[in-house]
Amino acid sequence: MTVLPTSNSNTSDSGQGNRKNHSLSPLLAEMENALISVDRVRAIRIVRDSCITGSPFMCLETLIVPVLESVGRRWETGDVALSQVYMSGRICEEIVDTMLPAGDPRRVDQPRMAIAVLEDQHTLGKRIVLSVLRAGGYVVTDYGYGLSVDQLIDQVISDKVIILLISTLMLPAAIRSKEVITRIREIQPQTKIIVGGAPFIFDPLLWEEVGADAMGYAASDTLDLVRRMAEEVQR
């Protein structure tokens, strides 16, 4: 299945950011190039010119989401830097917020979602995934980092979260996610839980051992996974 991104040893912040992805259409390739070049003005202009006649969600599905997924795949192959993935998500998040403000009724249909870092203090992976999900049109509550098992469970139950994303950096926190998942399921069995982080990458079966519904290897995987889970729970 599919984890919140940690780092890519094949990539540095100065990576091959301007190399084009020839599998994309000219419009998508132009948008991708604007994002990885951190050119907000050009990205906004592309969206404005190409989405003028369509609905915001059509623009998300046909332009923004495919490009973000492509940027995520290029990070996995070492073609772009992690910072470029993060900034691409932030730029798209800003664009989406202008198209679909937080209070827009078209966002209401989504299942309640949240993301958190369990016990650990790192935030970069969570921030990237959060930006990409928000850029994909999702409203996601950020519970922050360093949460204890009890704190995270209390938040999820209190907020009636339907899709929860848990990020960990160290193995002890990843193992303790099993307690989080077990206790949430006892009270709120409908909650879907995605785990991610370095321990789950190093041990590809760990996500099953802790009882998660899925694991995300990168932000693009997580976006696709959340989209499919959201469709399932709304049926």
Digit-coded pLDDT (tens) for 207-221: 999 999 999 887 667
Dihedral angle sign, alpha carbons of residues 82, 87, 90, 92: negative
State pTM to two decimals: 0.69
Same domain, 134 and 204: yes
Question: The sheet that has 214-215: what strands, in order across it?
Answer: 140-142, 113-117, 163-168, 192-197, 214-215
Assign residue 168 the CATH number of its domain: 3.40.50.280
Same domain assignment for residues 115 and 223: yes
Print burial letters for 162-183: b (CB count within 10 Å at least 16), e (below 16): bbbbbbbbbeebbebbbbbbeb
In a domain, 11, yes or no: no
pLDDT at 13: 37
C-beta separation of 163 from 192 below 8 A:
yes
Burial of 149 (0-12, 13-18, 19+ CB in 10 A): middle
Residue with tokens 């679909």: 100
Q: Which of 44, 75, 99 is the last residue of a domain?
A: 99
Whole-number pLDDT of residue 12: 36
Interval 42-49 mean pLDDT: 92
Q: Tally Cβ neighbours within 10 Å of residue 108.
A: 8
Q: Are residues 159 and 198 in the same domain?
A: yes
Percent of the chain topping pLDDT 70:
83
Q: What angle do CA 219, 223, 229 make, to 5 degrees?
A: 135
Q: Provide the mean pLDDT of the chain.
A: 83
226 and 122 both lie in a single domain: yes
Beta bridge partners of 194: 165, 214
Structure tokens given for 160: 């009636």
pLDDT tens digits, residue range 75-131? Answer: 878 899 888 888 898 898 888 878 776 666 666 568 999 999 999 887 777 877 887
| More confident position, 112 or 19 | 112
Same domain, 45 and 92: yes
| 1 CB-contact burial (10 Å; exposed 0-12 / middle 13-18 / buried 19+) | middle
Instruction: Provide the 10 A C-beta neighbour count for residue 113.
Output: 21
- pLDDT for res 235: 72
One-letter amino acid at 203 equals D
Whether residues 135 and 87 share a domain: the answer is no
Domain count, the chain: 2
